[in-house]
Structure 1
C-alpha cells in the first residue's frame, strides 16, 4: 500500500455540494481492479475515477471509472471532474487548450478554450424505444400518455431510455418511488422550461446503476440527448439544462453545437472540496 494523491470535487455546479460528487485518485497506476472497485464502493459516490499514464497515442492520461458496483466505459461528470483534478495536480496537456482523455470508449477531447470546460459528446446510436419498455416506465412513473412528446433508446457507451415530456413541470412531477435498479436502468426524462426561464430544459436520470434512486447530474445522459436533439434538427442553438432539482442540487449543463465540425460540446464547472492523500 502506498500514499496517493486524492481529490474530491463537485461537478456541473459553481456551488460546492450542489452538483455531482466525484472522487479522483490521481496516481492510480498499480492498483488492481479489485482494489479500485473496493475503493469506489467505500466512497459510495456515483463514480470514483483512477488516473494513470495513457496507452493510446496522443492521449494525455487514461481514466478508469467505477460506480460502487461496476466499471463504466464512459461517464460525463467523471470526464470533466477527472480533467479538472488532473490539471489541478499540476499536469499540462500536450496540445494547449485541449485535454485528450483516454477511457473505455476511446479518446474524449475536453475543450478548455471557453469559459466553461466542455467534453466532446461521443457518437450516439439512436433507435426506437420498445413499446414494452415504454409502457413499463410510464406505468411506474405515473406519466400521463398525452404529456409524452417523443421517446428514444440512446446509446453512447451507457444505454438510455429517454422520454421527452411536455414541460419541465411534468419532469419534476414524475413519481420515481417505484423506479429501482436493476429492473429499470438508465431512464432519462427531459422537458422544456417556459421561455425566459434561467434554464432551457429540466432533466432527470432515474434507475442509476450506482444504486442511487436518482443521479444528481448526468453528463453522459445529457450528451446522448444533445446528440439526438441536434442530430434530428430539434435543437439549433446552445442550451442550458438544469438537473438535480428534485434532490436539492443546482446542476447546470451548458451544451453547444459546432455544426461545421459536427461536435456537440457538454460543459460544466467543477468545484474542489478535498485535496490530499490517501493510502491504497
Structure 2
C-alpha cells in the first residue's frame, strides 16, 4: 500500500533553509515499530505521523519520531504540522486563518495558523507545559571542555549554565561572544561526564549581528550533531530567560536565530506572557514552507 507524505522546511519562509520535517499524512494502522522504520528511512531530525484525534473536537493526533526514538513533544514538528494543517484547511475553502487543538504525547496543544502563500504559512502554539528546572547544570570547566571552548567563553550578563525542560530536557549554555559560539564543537569523549549523558546542549549568545534578533543559538548533541532549529529547546530556554533576564510584566516576543553556522538559517519566535513577575504562558512560533510531496510504497 502507499502512504502520502509531505516535506516542509520549518522556522523559515524559504525552501532549503530552516529545519526539514517529514509528515506522513495517514498513519492509521502503523504500529510504533513501523513508524520508527519510516523515520529511519527519512533520516531527518523528526518525522510526524498524523492520526485521528482521540477527541473529535481536535484536529489531529501527532506521534513524533527521531530516527532512533519517539519523542513526547517537539517544537519544529508542531509548528510544521500546524502550518500543513492550516494549508489543508485553506485548500478545503475553510479560510486562511485557523485556530485548533492537536494532541501529542505531552498533552493537548493549542495552535493558531495563517496561510501566507500556496505552500507557505506561519504557526504559533502555546506550550502545554511551562519550563521548569531539570537538574544541576554542569560545571563551567566541564561544559567548556565538552564544547571545545575555554571557561572564559562561558557566561554573560548574569547568565550561568542551567538545565531546563518544557517537555524535553536541555542544558542551556550562555556563550559570551558570537565568535566563541561559532568555535563550539562536540567532544563526544567528554560529553557524558559533563552532562550526565547524551543530553542536548542549547548554546546561546546575546551577540547576534542582527538588531531584529534577541539571541543567536546552536543546538549540539552527540549522535545527532547539530540541529538547525529546535523549538523544544527554545521552550526550555524560556526558563532561563525568566530566571536571568527577569522580563517585566506584559507580553514579550524574542526572535532567536539558529542554524546559521550550518547553512540552514532559522528564526524561532519565543512569546512570553509575564504577570506578577512569573511566566503564566509561553508560545513558540515560526514560518514553514512545503518543499516536497510524495508517496511511501510499503509492502
How many angstroms apart in 1 are the aligned matches of 2:178 and 2:47?
30
58-67 or 109-118, which deviates more: 109-118
Within the candidate set 126, 130, 149, 1:123 is matched to: 130
Within the alignment, does 1:78 sit opposite 2:77 as a pair? Answer: yes
TM value normalised by structure 2: 0.82
Q: Is contact 1:170-1:191 (8 Å) kept? A: no
Within the alignment, does 1:267 sit opposite 2:292 as a pair? Answer: no
1:171-210 paired onto structure 2 within 5 Å: 171-176=181-186, 178=188, 183-193=197-207, 197-207=211-221
TM value normalised by structure 1: 0.87
Q: Is contact 1:120-1:264 (8 Å) kept? A: yes
Match of 1:157 in 2: 167
Q: Is contact 1:24-1:48 (8 Å) kept? A: yes
Match of 1:106 in 2: 107
Q: For 1:192-251, what per-residue CA distance to the aligned partner results, in whole angstroms no more than 9, with x for missing partners? A: 12586342211111116xx32111110100111024313655345322111011111111
Q: Is contact 1:28-1:50 (8 Å) kept? A: yes
- How many aligned positions are there? 274
Match of 2:238 in 1: 226
- Structure 2 alignment gaps of length 5 or more: 117-121
Q: For 1:96-138, what per-residue CA distance to the aligned partner results, in whole angstroms no more than 9, with x for missing partners? A: 7322110011011112369842111232211553445x54332
**CA apart distance, 1:143:** 2.5
Distance verdict in 2 for CA 1:63–1:196, change over 3 Å: closer
Distance verdict in 2 for CA 1:215–1:253, change over 3 Å: same
